[in-house]
Structure 1
Amino acid sequence: MSEEALYENQPTKRRRIELMADKSIAARIPESPAAASYAQSHKIAQSDKYVSRSSKNRPRNTRSIAQKTKFYKWIIDHIDHPFPTDKDRQHLCIDAFDKKDFYWWFSNHRHRNLVCTVDDQGKKQYRPKLTFYKTCQRLGLDIPWAIPEEIKRHLKRTNV
């Protein structure tokens, strides 16, 4: 009797779940062909782990402290318009950075650390969030503008 025939009378979704569960159990039994197949595919997946450029398989690439410090200093100096140009990119890159990763880093940090508001004239203004101040504090960067009192209170609480 085939595996599919065992679950013939059950609804399709439940049949698939039961069949997957049986295959999963079979893969755990060392002598079964399913286990050998699983082990082989797992070895292939592990060997290809660092070859693939897809975001799922690529190891996380964290930036050095020097690189982060330079980027955050640039954001502090250009808080009115935190969008680096190609010329800025050439000056700012310490670590190996391709163009896409560079712009993604700045895009992510604008969204995570800055609040965008629009003034009366329709001009965008960027204001740092608490996370920005915490990161600057951790990196030892000075902020040249007045820090709001509520943020100072949060920074003192986390600093103690």
Structure 2
Amino acid sequence: MTTVELPDTEATRALGVRLGRVLRAGDLVVLTGGLGAGKTTLTQGLGEGLGVRGPVTSPTFVIARVHPSLTGGPALVHVDAYRLGGVVELDDLDLDADVDASVTVVEWGHGVAERLAAEHLEVMLTGDQTRVATIAAVGERWLREPGLTALASGSHGRDGPG
């Protein structure tokens, strides 16, 4: 488990950029945190790190948005599960078809989205004045990812400074 202190929204976005640089097609990121915790801000950073077409905004009312890559990498599938009634409604979105070819990020996904991929990251955002991101890696893929441990130090992962 990795914990990162996020003193402001820029730090939250920067963490997303660093994380985006270690993500690859087939990765699932499940985001948890209260209203205003920074889930969409983190996802905006992920989009920047992945090099996808934006802007990345909250998909609350459309449930899911696909942001194609501008760099030849994987697309970002951004899902807001807040209004979904559970696993059945998530299944109705047919995300399974996109999971292997894209990076899928599910806001409010805890307890619902983990079944999309056996290996995934769970990011919990907590705190008021200073936020904290707790990143839990599930699965073998993440044991082999050196860039994940660099997140807490502010290093830029395998792609260097951005």
Q: Provide TM-score, normalisation by structure 1.
A: 0.22
Larger Rg: 1
Question: Which protein has the bigger helix share?
Answer: 1
Which structure has more strand as a fraction of its residues? 2
Q: Which has the higher contact order (CA 8 A, sep 6+)?
A: 2
